[in-house]
Structure 1
């Protein structure tokens, strides 16, 4: 009499285990994380956006970043402002270890901040802050109808002040007069760059133009106009809307100085709606 050997599959890691792995503070850098100048800012923003959403899910007591309104409708933790300061991404090389130490704080009933301190081999290479707010599509399938929505918040939550969140509110309400030393209300474009986003490359899994692609688009324009510009050392982006698939987006250069060390630009839809305002300071060029 022979006994059949049964092959029982080994249980895989739990979702909670995978979330903990995803927010591990250390990453071995390789080609996906780098560009010709060092650490890729576009990759970094996608990675930090992912960490932001997972940290927010844990903060709300969820196993995954599956956010829902009170009536079960899908909601998204949309990034509404980003800040990059003291960036020295040229330090990063393949096989270096990037350390990301992150902290989450609620800044209002509707907004959450995560702050990420970046270092390579003990050398600080920058700080990033992301501010998110929950949104949904007021009209199903329409990216122009993105609107804020309130989700249940933890009991006894304390709010922390954020200069980035305040500037974002002032940008939206027209209260911020100058930023990075440049008048904010001036909107006459010095130059305009037209871009046709790829549905398969620049839109995320929610069908929205990915927040990390806003700055990537602006860099394409600036590199086209100023080929010798240096890498960005400081950047703030304030997000005001989104675009539909198959819709063009335009980057307007509004003002710049120091040839062009400091730049203020805006992204707008074909209908003229401004969907982002962006302020950059670059290191010395080549």
Structure 2
């Protein structure tokens, strides 16, 4: 099993990627984990994904306040120009964590892509911060994100639309509301287009906590499905017509639940009990401000 101990030169933050509809009234296990990771730092909740953001922030502010976070700020980005204002820069300046709410993942990339806001988020992550996203905020974490595709039925080759995401996690494509909306077919379709990429489907009220971009652990009440196409021997994705049903052979599937862990480098489940407990510890010191946002963004690509 790989050595998962954190090295100073590898310091990188944590991704908390949520399948949507996380519990906000019961034990709130997932949001408790967000609060624990942020600690005494500032959490910025951004509703950029939503076309109608009213009420989103108030709901999360109340929950996080109840969970002990004292510094929870909201960030609306209604237009792309909002992502480059001095006010937005100051709000993100000393943030420890960012939380993307649900909505439309294409709104996130189109509104903040290649802006000072995106560069600052990358800097927060690269400096050990916590980047969280639920529903649309989960899909946007990867290099390529799904933006349209039918669920609840066998996948037709022409049904899937994808677009560039934020690229915080590489070699993976993430789908959310997974079992609830019957999205296995479209995840298989995404993996068939590029078997190098792991497909990760996350149920509602379920999250993966990605450490060091090397492995993740599962929290919540549902399951996480990992589709590995590296051993695929055949698919009709290139030759089939748009209305043709996908066929694909020798796909590997892992189904994980609370407490399970998965090695992203080895593409194997691993024993969560053997993970270095110190790797889960996060200090809450302020994240330094970047001097050249565009250069920092380019350096992380």
TM-score strictly above 0.5: no
Give the TM-score normalised by structure 1: 0.27
Higher percent of residues as strand: 1
Q: Which has the higher contact order (CA 8 A, sep 6+)?
A: 2
Which protein shows a greater Rg? 1
